[in-house]
Structure 1
Amino acid sequence: MGISEKKQKEYYQAFLNRDSTYDGIFFIGIKTTGIFCHATCSARKPKFENCDFFNDAESALIAGYRPCKKCLPLSFPGEMPEEVRVMVEAVEQEPEKRWTEKDFEALGMHSATARRKFKQFYGMTFVQYARSRRMGLAFSAIRKGQKVIDNQLEAGYESSSGFHDAFTKIMGDVPSKAKDLRILFADWFNTPLGPMVSVADDDFLYLLEFADRRALEREIERLRKRMKVRILPGKTKISQQIAEEMGQYFTGNLRTFKTPLFLSGTPFQQKVWQALTTIPYGETKSYKDLAQAVGIPTGYRAIGNANGANQLAIIIPCHRVVKSSGELGGYGGKPYRKEWLLNFEKGELDGKGKM
């Protein structure tokens, strides 16, 4: 969830005062250095306008910040175990890497033991941590453009390879002859439910997801391969349009999106997605209802899989599909967002998430 300006100022004052009662309550990202800290960090304090605030460490990582080496924000409140320290350093040396069993063996560790200790210490799995760093580096280029790489190099990185490799690993190789290839552009914008990433050209929107969606990296990879495209950081008239429409949606002033969409999926998936768009704003349908609507009355699992493959969050409203029992069911954008969106569309919340 987004942090209000009032709360940000409260956190900033706690940061200035090194107030230990706030340790673990928030994390602060320093835009000028690319690091994030906890409340009692002794480093030189930045200006308020150079700070980003996060409720959890994973969000700071996804936003492209790396842990401060002085205050070790992820080690609060205890001392970092040696195995965890080694893994964190290994990620920083090759942040673009996707880890395998052989990588743990190379560190002289048993993977199950290492992962268990990492989870106990950080409250997130090692895979989550490594993925968040990888995605965060890629998103840095999207959020602020190529200059962010130069700024963060000055703050301590030895080369730009980690940034370049992390971005191209996810978004595709940067083309040497752009005119010979089809290019899509990735953009980043904030919402009350957290940042979203769009992928678009000047004609269509191809992807819209919350930046911390676990499957996002794979979704982008599938899109690249299916469409045979390269993805670069940048804005288009379509990405600007969807950012504006999302702003209107979250203030309760828009119920029908007009942004042109490109649906990249199988014929069955597209049939399900089309059925999803017929669910009225503020209402829900069950998986059973949707299965009957597309002509496969017992195909609940197939419906669920098609929902999970939806790459256009909120616009293709898979959040409006619930279990027959009334339970919410799964949601790739995280269950709390599904609950929030349904309550918001029913008029039970305002755009700030309040009743």
Structure 2
Amino acid sequence: MAQVGGKHRFRVQSTDDPRHVILQGVADAEGGYDSVNLWDSAVVSFGIGQWTLIHGKLQDFLAYVRANHPRTFRRVFVRGVGVDLPAQRRAKDTRLVVGGRTLRKSRGTAHDVVWREFEEVFRPGGLGRPFRERDDSPGAQAWVRRWRAAGRDPVVQQCQYEFKTAELFTRFFRHRVRVTAKRKYPSMFSDPALRPAAGDYGPMHQVVGGDLWLQTLVYSLYVNAPYMATCLVAGAIQEVAAARGWQPKVSTWPARSLWRADLVAAIERATRACTYRATRRGGRPFRPWRDSRLPKALRAYQRLSGDASATRDQASFPGVEFDASGKPTGPRNAVQGYARIVAKLQQAGLPD
């Protein structure tokens, strides 16, 4: 089954805020405010960020709404959708309350064992069937309609925008481009020359800082598969460093104008060559270029920035700038937005 919903799309509010351009590129690929997906291994994915139930991201979003808009949370999610959260929870806590019953993970390794309680509630009758057929039952479709209705609420939509921006600042820009020997997937790239060596290549904000197209390009990969994006960027850094005789750490490189075009080209080449499986046990392969994620991000960026040659030239206007610690320093609206987000995350008990 295809992703359901998406009629209520994210639309950029102003092109003078680079956050909007970055998020538009992602939203064009991920879906709308009322998009819901009940057909893959995540059990439930929801909203412009397609926050997943089994990773606790959907529950974190619900916690954000509950902390900052408690009345909306009770009206839309508790009474409308029929889901609630435990009174006390931590970030990425996957527990969910449905009909007064707290659903929990079970011990085990197989998906249908670990997530049996959630599968039985959200996709009744689907256990043992292929994931793409599990949302066909009337019970599953009833859940789809409830989640879609929640995504149409204006307050929930504002929360989705805020929470997605929070992820951009607190997860992506602070993420370290680190490849470990244990987690390296040698089959990720068809070209062995693009496979990154294990090592720490530095924080993401040093790689993409100040460059709007790099921020849009890499984030569009990161939101779907963070480790895949990490390996793609690490491989590109390794390629540019080898060609220039530099150390494979962007913090030691000269001015960005001397290497920006080479790094973008290397990331795009690696993206075209990449076929990624999220687990070694298999699963549907993800091809970020063939699956149109990168082309959609590119079209959104070109449309909003007015930079028709985004893959070759410097951006028409800058992205978010950072200090050495990774905190945004400009533009002003991005800095103010960051401060508000941190306060709201703290209110929800989520890491900032």
Query: TM-score scaled by structure 1?
Result: 0.31
TM-score, L = length of structure 2: 0.31
Q: Which protein has greater RCO, CA pairs closer than 8 Å, 6+ apart?
A: 2
